A and B are shown apart, each in its own frame.
Chain A
């Protein structure tokens, strides 16, 4: 896997959002310099608690936002500042599946049109070719082609997420960004949708950027895992390494907090308890400093960079 080429790379990606106008204008520091790579064919899991910037990272990588700073590369091409009209190749190569399938589909359009729309926009396929492709896609995600005449609200959450996956697959993309694709679903259907994603990945050689706040789900899905905290990557390593030998204090706390099924294997639960600092304040020093049990003076002023401590294991901590 290590030999695989890099398909997505971010270098020091910064994303700010302006809030309010004129008076009392404030800046949300959603991403504060994110550097990571996604390799072709792998699943990179992205974990972190709510508000840490996972969705923002996904959208910035897809160029749904204009990044405030840093760079985004897709397949070696710098797409950070490309105008929309030059992003066609990116739009064809990278698609997204959102958390809430009800919100990610226009309720006024029939499912067939929803799945067909990317083909209408991006290809010169004829009507008939498109319709055949839609039927094929719906079959691929385990739905009956007759679904195309119905509307999103006539389906269950799991089925709707299958429709969203069919839409994402329509253009035969190389990367699919899954932004918490099962968080809004019943537990009973979560694993079905996850397994569908895995089998589609195998069948089409897809690269997945898989976002979740559920560590268990990420472990099940991912080859490598990036742990995010307050707009930065705290640790990035192979899935096994993250779960078995975490190096960053935040990752350690997260892993320790996973309820173990084996009572004898309970590790010391150093539950970190503090508040997550507000993203409205410009971060100085280590983002995790206010909750870190082992912090030192240096952490207050100096931001730890992501360093490779072992082959393929990057950690952003002065003491790791």
Chain B
């Protein structure tokens, strides 16, 4: 017997209140046991599982990077009042008794308040943001790593903190990749499923269209468009998606083609199910496996493409923190500032390898050959 979560545990009699939301949910959107078994198997593949934990933590961390790597203070106590500048409005120097009307420099404020005793400041562990330049008297950037000045990975050639650029660059890259992959997978799945399900002329036309579309040398087009428009983040994703969705259709189309001949699809049609229902309720959940297992590889591919474009100078508008820019700078300055190249190469290797491990783990866990499906 199963756990008494059951829909029919208490069968409502006339006059009873309808089943609780819990019961309703239990009936519909439970994770089915096949998927459960796969998830369980994935958690047992240690390398993939820990890589997944690592990369997701890194992602979450980068989303709140402002708390760790930022020029704004976490907390300011000024004349007995508390301020939390991290996610608040811009505080002008005046407001903390300084003599300027632009945003407070909290590193200076900290020194000032220490001297005049009017309060205190708590700075993030790395009190630099990704854009500001740090000019040290008598020295020229790039500056070597220095715990004292809190440039744990040094600065780049115009004095910006490498750790800050690295972290915010990671955020740009991973968000770009996730948005891009989500959009292309959605579009690709829908079109691929329709091609496979309808077949016939629709399938034919789209196949030819996609074949032609995929002949277009995508990176060159992005470079040209990039040179013309100097695209911002969203426009950039847009261009990538326009050229990236087609590659996602093939596997879904092939799987759908196979599924649609199965009796459960015929049964659904015999009860009058709409195309939308057949694809959404029946086909997509059954072809999701191929989609899911290729997801990590698509993410790392997107990160690499973005980095490559930035490296060549066709990517996101400067001064957006970017891995490609760091990489090209690191290579150009590897003698004068080896810390730049070392940092970016280590970070890229770590991220790409981790994602590859996740992908490998997913593939092993979801591999149908390892999995007995009743027939």
Contact = CB atoms under 8 A, between A and B. Distances in A.
Q: How large is the interface on B (under 10, 10 to 19, 20 to 34, 35 or more residues)?
A: 35 or more
Interface string B34-76: 1100000000000000000000000000000000000000000
A25 interface: no
Contacts of B270: 62, 64, 91, 94-96
Interface string B19-35: 10000101110101111
B8 interface: yes
A87 B8 contact: no
A96 B267 contact: yes
B263 interface: yes
Contacts of B374: 102, 107, 152-153
Contacts of B24: 127
Contacts of A301: none
Contacts of A149: 2, 5-8, 26-27
B285 interface: yes
Contacts of B262: 103
Nearest to B259: A106
Interface in A218-260: none
A33 B70 CA distance: 80
A1 interface: no
Interface stretch (B148-156, B233-241, B271-279): B271-279
A209 interface: no
Contacts of A182: none
Contacts of B18: 126-128
Given A64-B266, A98-B267, A121-B272, A106 B12 contact: no
Nearest to A92: B272
B271 A128 contact: no
Contact of A150 (B2, B9, B271, B274): B2
B284 to A, nearest CB: 10
A117 interface: yes
Given A103-B375, A122-B271, A149-B26, A131 B19 contact: yes
Given A64-B270, A104-B267, A145 B32 contact: no
Given A128-B18, A132-B12, A103 B7 contact: no
Contacts of B12: 128, 131-132
A101 to B, nearest CB: 9
Interface string A86-115: 011001101110111011111111101100
Contacts of B28: 113
Q: How large is the interface on A (under 10, 10 to 19, 20 to 34, 35 or more residues)?
A: 35 or more
A121 B24 CA distance: 17
B271 A106 contact: no
B18 to A, nearest CB: 5
Contacts of B264: 103-106
B136 interface: no
B375 A117 contact: no
Contact of A146 (B6, B34, B274, B281): B6
A155 to B, nearest CB: 10
Nearest to B275: A84
B369 interface: no
B6 A107 contact: no
Interface in B252-302: 262-264, 266-274, 277, 281-282, 285-286
A167 B270 CA distance: 11
Interface string B351-375: 0000000000000000000000111
Contacts of A127: 18-19, 24
Given A103-B263, A108-B34, A151-B32, A135 B2 contact: no
Nearest to B265: A106
Contact of A98 (B35, B266, B269, B273): B266
Contacts of B89: none
A91 B374 CA distance: 29
Contacts of A145: 8, 11
Contacts of A146: 1-2, 6, 8-9
Contacts of A106: 264, 268, 281-282, 285-286
Contact of A91 (B272, B281, B373, B375): B272
Contacts of B6: 146, 148-149
A108 B5 contact: no
B273 A117 contact: yes
Interface of A: 59, 62, 64, 84, 87-88, 91-92, 94-96, 98-100, 102-110, 112-113, 117-118, 121-122, 126-128, 131-132, 135, 145-146, 148-153, 164, 167, 171
16 contacts: A94-B270, A95-B270, A99-B263, A106-B268, A106-B281, A108-B285, A109-B32, A110-B27, A118-B271, A127-B19, A131-B11, A135-B8, A148-B6, A148-B8, A149-B2, A149-B5
Q: Closest 10 A-B residue pairs measured CB to CB?
A: A91-B272, A104-B263, A118-B271, A108-B32, A149-B6, A98-B263, A103-B263, A153-B374, A145-B8, A106-B264
